[in-house]
Amino acid sequence: MSSPLTVFPEFIAQFLDRHPPSVSPETPLSEIWHKFQENVTDSRGASSPREPLQSGYVCVVEGDRCLGLLTTQEAIAVLAQGNDPHSIPVSHLITPGEAVIAPALLNHPPALYEAAKEHPFLLLLDSQQQCLGVLPSLALLKLPELPQVSGTFCPLNPFEIALNHLPITVFRKDRQLRYTWIYKSFPSLDPQEILEHTNHDLFSAQDARAWEAIERRVLEQQQGSRQDISLTLNGIFHYYDLTVEPLLDDCGAVMGLVGTALDMTPSYLNQQALTALNHELESIVEERTAELQHSNAELLQSLSVAQDLNELKSRFITLTSHEFRTPLTTILGSAELLKHYGENWPQEKRQRYFDRIHDTVDHMTRLLDDVLTVGQAEAGQLTFCPSFVNILELLQQLIDQSLRRGDRERAIALNHDLDSPEIYLDKTLVSQIILNLLSNALKYSGAESTVTLDVKTEETQLIVQVQDQGIGIPEADKAQLFTSFHRAENAANIQGTGLGLSIVKNAVNLHGGQITFESQEGSGSTFTVQLPLTQPVAYDNHSRD
């Protein structure tokens, strides 16, 4: 049931039950009997608790109107006559207007005292018959000051009205921090139980110590304090805005203190919930932002890869078209000459043209092998298969092969410093490394210059170094030197595919090694390969076992 907000004198408000139990007029007596057993009003100030069936009541309400009050005594009287409680509606048991008082009567103590003597409970109704609460008469009669007050109560001043509407507790304490007066007690604590007690008697040890520390400082420094505190009452958290001021006598001596505790729990919890929500929203925003940034990074990476692939495709088409067209033209021209004039040529001349066709086919085969090797490397299909190899024999074979492919009149100087020629390595990968480095050194250096190949072992490494006195590498091309199909700017007019150093880099990586170079345009280049020896250098034939 709802009722308008009304201000009552403090000594009345402490006994007023603002939310009494209620039933409709048609409710049979049998259905409300349990309410008399559960809803018991223990009159404050009574010397002993009352029996449940002697102190219960229930309001009979129809819509917003309260029709009357039914007490336990009245219900017992009806049942004592042998009536069936299932057939008697509560509306038959009430007398409208009986035990009913208006708010104005609260300001007339004598009349209120007389009404309390006539009825065990007083039903407080406003002019619209809305219930403002129920007063236990026994509690009023126990007030020693009530029958002695004459005239009317003074109207509440605005300050009292404001306090009555605020969730605030006002208190006074002595120097021993015992409560000597309190207005609107803390939840679940009776004002009479608080007086003459300290916080240590009422609250948890932790809460009491925190509050006492504030009050001790106020007494010692004689200076007021305002700060937030928390209390746990009956397992429920409360948050207060505590203000404490020293209380001085006429001589300025500290008598105690006075304070207020404004309950800020709802706003505190709302703030905590808002803060948690803000943190959650910030986390969601950060997470979504990170996801978007990650998605953008992936898109940019995919775009970059697509652009690289398109550029790679364009280079591949351009270079392979050129590299295939020239040798095919050579083959076709030689074949046509042999076809029409071969019978009239001497054997030596015919053989020279056949050798030209053979070398050109061999060049195209190597070109296709290079393209296939790069494709396998990018697809992760190249394998590392080491075995014991006589490195000196292998190097001599690779030097001979390089000279046959290029200019047979050129010179390649081989220098070595090996503890043993037997080295544990991948023959295929090492062959690709050295052949491509020698091929580049011969291709990009003058016919009179010598290419140097140095090989040595240091601890657990095989070090291969190829040096030439050729055209060198421009500074702008060094960053992309090992990229597939990339060719230096000063090599545009020299035959090549741009795959050789890419193959070298992949072979070195598979071997777990590294490759470095030093070069200056116009002064030659030096490439150094360091390959780890996965097995110790063999010193004799038995070391393989």
pLDDT in the model for residue 465: 93
Residue 216 burial by Cβ neighbours in a 10 Å radius (0-12, 13-18, 19+): exposed
**Strand blocks (E) in 175-329:** 179-183, 225-233, 236-248, 254-263
Q: How far is CA 257 from CA 107, 201, 246, 495, in A?
A: 32, 18, 4, 102
Residue 501 burial by Cβ neighbours in a 10 Å radius (0-12, 13-18, 19+): buried
pLDDT in the model for residue 375: 66
Distance between CA 36 and CA 17 in Å, rounded? 15
Distance between CA 535 and CA 457 in Å, rounded? 13
Q: What percent of the chain has pLDDT over 70?
A: 80
pLDDT in the model for residue 153: 47
pLDDT tens-digit readout, 415-451: 998 878 888 888 888 988 998 899 888 888 888 888 9
At residue 173's C-alpha, the angle toward residues 170 and 179, to 5°, is 80
- Tokens standing for residue 162: 């404001």
pLDDT in the model for residue 313: 65
pLDDT in the model for residue 534: 67
pLDDT tens-digit readout, 90-147: 888 887 778 898 887 877 777 888 888 888 899 999 888 998 889 888 888 877 656 5
Write down the mean pLDDT value for the chain. 80
DSSP 418-435: -S-SEEEE-HHHHHHHHH
Question: Are the beta carbons of 521 and 472 closer than 8 angstroms?
Answer: yes
pLDDT band at 517 (very low <50, low <70, confident <90, very high): very high
| Between 258 and 96, residue with greater pLDDT | 258
pLDDT in the model for residue 48: 38
Pick the most confident of 128-132, 383-387, 499-503.
128-132
pLDDT band at 243 (very low <50, low <70, confident <90, very high): very high
Average pLDDT value for residue range 194-216: 91
pLDDT tens-digit readout, 149-173: 544 444 555 555 566 667 888 899 9
Question: Are the beta carbons of 431 and 398 closer than 8 angstroms?
Answer: yes
pLDDT in the model for residue 219: 92
pLDDT in the model for residue 218: 93
Distance between CA 269 and CA 423 in Å, rounded? 76
Average pLDDT value for residue range 381-399: 86
pLDDT band at 372 (very low <50, low <70, confident <90, very high): low
CA nearest to 481, candidates 499, 463, 495: 499
pLDDT tens-digit readout, 271-298: 888 888 899 999 999 999 999 999 999 9
pLDDT at 493 over 90: no
